Chain A
Amino acid sequence: MTTPSNTTAPTPLAPNPTKPVDSAPGYLSVRKYNFWYGTNQTLFDVSLEIPEKQVTAFIGPSGCGKSTLLRNFNRMNDLVDGIRHTGDITMAGHTIYDPLIEVTSLRKRVGMVFQKSNPFPKSIYENVIYGLRVGGQNSKADLDIAVEKGLRAAALWDEAKDRLNQSALSLSGGQMQRLCIARAIAVEPEVILMDEPCSALDPIATGKIEELILELKKQFTVVIVTHNMQQAGRCSDRTAFFYLGKLIEYDTTVTIFTNPRQKQTEDYITGRFG
């Protein structure tokens, strides 16, 4: 594509002294990762390091592989028949594909929030402690504490504390999504994956979730997939741009948005395609 731009030559990246890029091993690291659905390859030789207790945003046009990569961090793609991968993903230095580790224990360490909020048709209380219940925790006192902690962390406590036994389906759309976040937090994971968490929400609910994300990074490593450039700019520390299954550029969010090295990145961010 030809774009009459005045920034045709990518300016060399100014190295950030506090946050070294692409060098130090991150908390989650992806190494030479290729991925296929059947015969259809959706990720090509992706390598990146995601640092601990920061927000990393994945951006790119639809079908670029960002969601696929996200869903591989907790091996959600295992549910699909005919998948295959090469390369490796490690978490805190350990491969997530270790055959000795059950996938359920990986998913307890890596929580996930989906694009469409999916609370269970149970009470708010039961929703929050679902992960603890399936993990075998049944002490009422512990569960009560976990519910309050989870709902407070998801900034839902004040709205929900008087109706914990009501159906989760009685909540508004934004509240449901925060309930899903509370549900993920209650398991006390290390990483929280968010797959376009605000795409079905109005601007006010979106604002609340974004505030929440900034709060969450004090405790958790957050990876977020988003189509909303402003959102990536507002709440992420680092941004990775994907295009057609390849990682085009990965850097601090400030750099990506102000001084991208690749022309494709700049075109996407400025809205020339995508």
Chain B
Amino acid sequence: MQSTRVVGEPMVWLSAMGLGIGLLMVAALLWVIIANGVQVFWPKRIEVFTLTIDGKEQVIAGELVKQQHKASSVQGKQGAEEYQIFTGNKDIYGQGFRYIDVSAITKRTMPSDALLVERLEYGNAIGAPVRLVIKGEAPISATDPLFRSRLGEAITEVSDRRDAILALEKGQIGAINREIASLEYHLKAVAGKDAADEQATKQRIADLQKSYDVLNAKAKELRAVQDDDQVVIRPYGGEERTVSMGTVVSTTWSNELSLFGQIGAFVHHLWSFLVERPREANTEGGIFPAIFGTFVMTILMSMAVTPFGVVTAIYLREYARQGPFVRAVRIAVNNLAGVPSIVFGVFGLGFFVYIVGGSIDSLFFSDKLPTPTFGTGGILWAALTLALMTVPVVIVATEESIAAVPRGAKEGSLALGASKWQTIQRVVLPAAIPGILTGLILAMARGAGEVAPLMLVGVVKLAPSLPIDGIYPFFHLDQKFMHLGFHIFDLGFQSPDSEAAKPMVFATTFFLIALVMALNLGAIILRERIRRRYATAAF
């Protein structure tokens, strides 16, 4: 019998399988990240469990996080089933999570008045509301119909006051502090040389100190008012506890939420995660500084890597005499892409931070020494280090796109009396821009996700301020910054409360991927626009 099979047909299946497995793995990865990340924001019900252990009753309340089997010492046999419960009230229990044996549960209820209180410190508190104590008023019992509305008003009030304190401290007090600091440097410089100037400066510092004292007293006053009101809650199976309203961020009646209420709470949590600063060793609050730091660093890196990579590629392809030397250079550039990123980090620390930054400090910021300005890790050095790391990608992509510019286009330009540079500038580069952008997209994807070198050249766990803000000179390139990749590492491996940090790791990972995708999408849209404009179909 003759075979009806076409030669090579199995290769189609084999190559399709390769793609299929790849897609499957990407989809699985995204699913794990999204499913685990979304969990953080979805409001869960609060359940009250009554356990009987050795005849003694114990009450534990909290959100059911997961169900699992205990590890068993006997092989092939599963251990007893247990629940992981988020109990909150870390200030009472010393931890936020507990495991309970399912077999020990004798009663399980879902009280409708269970209240979840999000606090600035010690994480969430869970319990039954008892009363609200407002200064100068009679306490309002939780059964009073006024209780909820007054609680809501009190929260709005304290959060407004919190914003006012922050504005006062960051804005006015910060400005005075900065001026005093710069005047002190000035004083150091003129000391013993210009008596009049010295005297005037001292006077000015004293004046500033006075207004600082006034503002500081005002802030202290506001802060004291924050503790005037309290809400009293009773954790299930425990004693009443008083929570100062000043520490309350929000409250949720978790067991009363309808589906829309849950969706609303989900959106609210997601939004505050995006726009807030982190609290409690990064395990609470949001990731905004990390998102912003990653974004600014990636943009700075692109601004450094694109011109550098493009001019290098132009020289290699258009001007350099092709021969063994240029070939060797090309191989070296390609190999640069394979150097471990930590090596670039060490180089960045040694060259950019210590040599370049140190020289800048001794030339321009010598009055602040020994406090370093540029001679320490910062967002500029981090961006330049990553630019160095990703420059091979841009060089290779640019060279290839320059080589793909049709010869006829170049000859047409040269034949009209254009010089080589005019031809590159007017014909070659416009046609090569889509390819250059492809290189930039690859470089951004690699740079934005990099962590190891950044730890050496400027990333920190918690940065006090953003690299770009409203304070003159607006761009603080010397500043240390937060980065999503490092944030993931910090949450996952350096956090004091690993259980609380675990879902945050997934959520942060999700936003890192989303940020890289958004940046790439921007570059892709730009590339498509240019491609349409310089359609080269006619060559």
Q: Which residues of A contact B (CB under 8 A)?
A: 74, 76, 79, 81, 104-105, 107-108, 111-112, 114, 116-121, 130-131, 134-135, 167, 169, 176, 180, 183-184, 187
What residue of chain B has the Cβ atom nearest to residue A104's Cβ?
A: B417
Cα(A4)–Cα(B536), bound, Å: 51
What residue of chain A has the Cβ atom nearest to residue B415's Cβ?
A: A112
Closest 5 CB pairs of A and B: A131-B416, A108-B417, A118-B408, A112-B415, A134-B418
B358 on interface, CB distance cutoff 8 Å: no
Asked if A120 and B408 make an inter-chain contact with CB atoms under 8 angstroms apart, the answer reads no
Asked if A79 and B416 make an inter-chain contact with CB atoms under 8 angstroms apart, the answer reads no
Chain A residues with CB below 8 A from B417, complex form: 104-105, 107-108, 131, 134-135, 187
Contacting A at CB under 8 A, from B406-427, are: 406, 408-409, 411-419, 422, 426-427
Cα(A181)–Cα(B512), bound, Å: 54
Cα(A123)–Cα(B412), bound, Å: 15
Asked if B535 and A134 make an inter-chain contact with CB atoms under 8 angstroms apart, the answer reads no
What residue of chain B has the Cβ atom nearest to residue A189's Cβ?
A: B417
Cα(A104)–Cα(B419), bound, Å: 6
Chain B residues with CB below 8 A from A112, complex form: 411, 415
Contacting A at CB under 8 A, from B375-422, are: 406, 408-409, 411-419, 422
Asked if B427 and A120 make an inter-chain contact with CB atoms under 8 angstroms apart, the answer reads yes
Asked if A134 and B322 make an inter-chain contact with CB atoms under 8 angstroms apart, the answer reads no
B533 on interface, CB distance cutoff 8 Å: yes
Give the contacting residue for B408; candidates A116, A134, A169; CB below 8 A. Answer: A116
Asked if B416 and A118 make an inter-chain contact with CB atoms under 8 angstroms apart, the answer reads no
Asked if A120 and B415 make an inter-chain contact with CB atoms under 8 angstroms apart, the answer reads no
Cα(A112)–Cα(B411), bound, Å: 9
Cα(A108)–Cα(B417), bound, Å: 5
Asked if A121 and B533 make an inter-chain contact with CB atoms under 8 angstroms apart, the answer reads yes
Asked if B412 and A120 make an inter-chain contact with CB atoms under 8 angstroms apart, the answer reads yes
Chain A residues with CB below 8 A from B413, complex form: 120, 130, 134
B13 on interface, CB distance cutoff 8 Å: no
Asked if B411 and A118 make an inter-chain contact with CB atoms under 8 angstroms apart, the answer reads yes
Asked if B538 and A114 make an inter-chain contact with CB atoms under 8 angstroms apart, the answer reads no
Asked if A134 and B416 make an inter-chain contact with CB atoms under 8 angstroms apart, the answer reads yes
Contacting A at CB under 8 A, from B340-394, are: none
Question: Could you list 30 examples of A-B contacts with CB < 8 Å?
Answer: A74-B415, A76-B411, A76-B414, A81-B321, A81-B322, A105-B417, A107-B414, A112-B415, A114-B412, A116-B539, A118-B408, A118-B409, A118-B539, A119-B538, A120-B413, A121-B431, A121-B534, A130-B413, A130-B418, A134-B413, A134-B418, A134-B419, A134-B422, A167-B535, A176-B538, A180-B412, A183-B416, A184-B415, A184-B416, A187-B417
Asked if B415 and A76 make an inter-chain contact with CB atoms under 8 angstroms apart, the answer reads yes
Cα(A114)–Cα(B430), bound, Å: 22
Cα(A131)–Cα(B416), bound, Å: 5
Q: When A81-B321, A134-B426, A169-B537 are in contact, do A120 and B409 touch as well, CB less than 8 Å?
A: yes
Cα(A112)–Cα(B418), bound, Å: 13
User: Chain A nearest CB: distance from B434 CB in Å?
Assistant: 12
Chain A residues with CB below 8 A from B427, complex form: 120
Give the contacting residue for A169; candidates B416, B418, B430, B535; CB below 8 A. Answer: B535
Asked if B538 and A169 make an inter-chain contact with CB atoms under 8 angstroms apart, the answer reads yes
Chain B residues with CB below 8 A from A108, complex form: 416-417
Chain B residues with CB below 8 A from A79, complex form: 411, 414
Cα(A79)–Cα(B319), bound, Å: 11
Cα(A23)–Cα(B419), bound, Å: 37
Chain B residues with CB below 8 A from A81, complex form: 321-322
Chain A residues with CB below 8 A from B412, complex form: 114, 118-120, 180, 183
What residue of chain B has the Cβ atom nearest to residue A116's Cβ?
A: B408
Give the contacting residue for A118; candidates B406, B534, B535; CB below 8 A. Answer: B406
What residue of chain A has the Cβ atom nearest to residue B423's Cβ?
A: A134
The listed residue with most B CB atoms (<10 A of its CB), out of A76, A107, A184, is A107
Chain A residues with CB below 8 A from B426, complex form: 120, 130, 134
What residue of chain B has the Cβ atom nearest to residue A121's Cβ?
A: B534
Asked if A187 and B539 make an inter-chain contact with CB atoms under 8 angstroms apart, the answer reads no
Chain B residues with CB below 8 A from A134, complex form: 413, 416-419, 422, 426
What residue of chain A has the Cβ atom nearest to residue B536's Cβ?
A: A121
Cα(A142)–Cα(B538), bound, Å: 29
User: Chain A nearest CB: distance from B194 CB in Å?
Assistant: 55
Chain A residues with CB below 8 A from B418, complex form: 104, 130-131, 134
Chain A residues with CB below 8 A from B537, complex form: 169
What residue of chain B has the Cβ atom nearest to residue A168's Cβ?
A: B538
User: Chain B nearest CB: distance from A123 CB in Å?
Assistant: 11
Cα(A202)–Cα(B163), bound, Å: 77
Chain B residues with CB below 8 A from A107, complex form: 414-417
Chain A residues with CB below 8 A from B535, complex form: 121, 167, 169
The listed residue with most A CB atoms (<10 A of its CB), out of B418, B427, B430, B533, is B418
Chain B residues with CB below 8 A from A176, complex form: 538
Chain A residues with CB below 8 A from B321, complex form: 81
Cα(A104)–Cα(B417), bound, Å: 4
Chain B residues with CB below 8 A from A111, complex form: 415-416
User: Chain B nearest CB: distance from A209 CB in Å?
Assistant: 17
User: Chain A nearest CB: distance from B441 CB in Å?
Assistant: 22
Cα(A117)–Cα(B426), bound, Å: 18
User: Chain B nearest CB: distance from A94 CB in Å?
Assistant: 17
Chain B residues with CB below 8 A from A105, complex form: 417
User: Chain A nearest CB: distance from B223 CB in Å?
Assistant: 65
